[in-house]
Structure 1
Amino acid sequence: MGESLHTVPTLPTARPSGCPFDPPAELVDARRHSPISRYTFPGGRPGWLITGFDLVRAVLADSRFSSLKELMLHPTIDYGDMEAPPAPPGEFLLMDEPRHSRYRKPLMGKFTVRRMRLLTERVEQITGEHLDAMAEAGSSADLVTAFAKPVPAVVICELLGVPYEDRGSFQEQVYSFMDGETNDEDLIAAYTATQTYLAELVAAKRANPTDDVLSDLTDTDLTDEELRGMALLLLAAGLDTTANMLALGTFALLRNPEQLAGLRADPALADRAVEELLRYLSVAKTFMRTALEDVEVGGRTIEAGERVILSYNTANRDPERFTDPDVLDLRRQEGGHLAFGHGIHQCLGQQLARVEMKVAFPALFNRFPALRLAVPPEEVVLRPESADVYGVKSLPVAWDV
Structure 2
Amino acid sequence: MRNKVIKEFKILELIDFGPYFIFETSKIQTMIMFFQKSTIPNEYYFDYRRIISKKPTFKDVLDLLKKAPNYNNEYLTPKIIREKYLDKPLTFSKTDVETIINKIEEKGKEKLYENEIIQGIVIPQDYVIKNHLKKLGQGFKIGDGIFVLSEEEKNKLRLSEKELELLKPYYTSSELKKYYAVRKNSQWIIYTDSRFKNPKAMEPYPNIKKHLDKYQAVITSDNKPYGLHRARDERFFKGEKIIALRKCTEPTFTYSDFDCYVSAAFYVIKTNRFNMKYLTGLLNSKLVAFWLRHKGKMQGNNYQIDAEPLLNIPLPSLTSSNQSIAIQIIQKVDQIISLIQSDDYDTNQEKQKKVKEIEKEIDMLVYELYGLDNEEIEIIESSLNSK
Greater helix content: 1
Q: TM-score, normalised by structure 2?
A: 0.23
Whose RCO is larger (CA < 8 A, sep 6+)?
Answer: 1
Greater strand content: 2
Q: TM-score, normalised by structure 1?
A: 0.22
